[in-house]
């Protein structure tokens, strides 16, 4: 179970990313509390994946700070990233290795000690036990997504970042994934930051949302409160209302 903390699990302060003359992310600030399932929404090109890349230190911010469990991603990245599990865009694996070998490699590279039983356990959780000895190049997109989730769960992280995790996953897998996320959030106190376009699923899953447009924060808060404020029936209506308001 993730340790209870008195500070936000994830905190972004004034995060900005500029490439040449274009601002991809503009002065983004928000925080995630422990145990929350956070929806990270926005139209295509709004800067969601770039933000997630900055959190996982694949991309460097132009300015601003990111703190994970109170540790700066810039100055104290080892401690910061040691509690993070992630799927950024398409999960990438060594195609000539088996599913188990890929997860085992991640286990060996982790700061926390991860035994062989945990590797089998996470593959069982995501429903890939039967194919764990198959090479990843034979996997479908949905299977790769599940393997990505197994990878993210491996070290019992405090926060799991999922970028389009339901891409290619079948309906049964989708239901299982939702149940898993809810269970981990409630029982293990794991925080989830999920970027997705499937708003109906996000409404079922998330208790908080942040909406981005053109790199800027448009709205953030508890789902039920925002629905009430905007007079929206569902997350989809809320999303379009926020985007429309911002355009105006």
Of 37 and 80, nearer to another protein (C-beta) is 80
- CB contact set of 247 (below 8 Å; sequence gap of 6+): 213
Least distance to another protein from the beta carbon of 247, Å?
A: 27
Of 40 and 239, nearer to another protein (C-beta) is 40
Of 73 and 243, nearer to another protein (C-beta) is 73
Strand ranges of the sheet holding 10-19, from the earlier edge strand across to the other edge: 22-32, 10-19, 63-68, 71-72
Of 88 and 202, nearer to another protein (C-beta) is 88
Least distance to another protein from the beta carbon of 226, Å?
A: 30
Which residue blocks in the chain are alpha helix, DSSP H? 48-55, 77-81, 99-109, 116-125, 141-153, 171-187, 199-205, 223-230, 235-247
What's the rounded Cα separation, in Å, for the pair 149 and 136?
14
Least distance to another protein from the beta carbon of 58, Å?
A: 4
Least distance to another protein from the beta carbon of 163, Å?
A: 11
Q: Name the site residues for another protein (rule: CB under 8 A).
A: 19, 53, 56-60, 77-82, 84, 86, 88-90, 92-95, 102, 105-106, 108-111, 137-138, 151
Of 102 and 145, nearer to another protein (C-beta) is 102
- The structure tokens listed for 42 are 């926005």
**Are the C-beta atoms of residues 139 and 160 closer than 8 Å to each other?**
no
Percent helix, strand, coil in the chain (nearest 5)? 40, 25, 35
- The structure tokens listed for 177 are 């994934």
Least distance to another protein from the beta carbon of 68, Å?
A: 10
């Amino acid at each position: 179970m993730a340790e209870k903390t008195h500070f936000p699990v994830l905190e972004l302060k004034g995060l900005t990313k500029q490439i040449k003359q274009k601002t991809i992310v503009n002065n983004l600030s928000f925080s995630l509390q422990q145990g929350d399932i956070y929806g990270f929404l926005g139209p295509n090109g709004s800067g969601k994946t770039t933000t997630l890349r900055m959190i996982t230190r694949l991309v460097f911010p132009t300015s601003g700070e990111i703190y994970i469990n109170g540790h700066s991603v810039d100055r104290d990245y080892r401690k910061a990233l040691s509690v993070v599990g992630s799927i950024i865009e398409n999960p990438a694996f060594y195609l000539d290795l088996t599913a188990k070998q890929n997860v085992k490699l991640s286990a060996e590279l982790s700061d926390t000690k991860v035994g062989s039983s945990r590797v089998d356990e996470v593959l069982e959780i995501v429903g890939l036990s039967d194919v764990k000895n198959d090479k990843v190049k034979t996997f479908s997109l949905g299977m790769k997504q599940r393997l990505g989730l197994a990878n993210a769960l491996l070290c019992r992280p405090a926060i799991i970042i999922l970028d389009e995790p339901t891409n290619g996953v079948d309906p049964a897998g989708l239901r299982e994934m939702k149940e898993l996320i809810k269970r981990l959030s409630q029982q293990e106190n794991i925080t989830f930051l999920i970027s997705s376009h499937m708003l109906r699923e996000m409404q079922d899953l998330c208790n908080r949302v942040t909406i981005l447009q053109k790199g800027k924060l448009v709205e953030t808060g508890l789902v039920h409160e925002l629905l009430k404020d905007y007079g929206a029936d569902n997350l989809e209506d809320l999303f379009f209302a926020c985007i429309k308001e911002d355009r105006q």
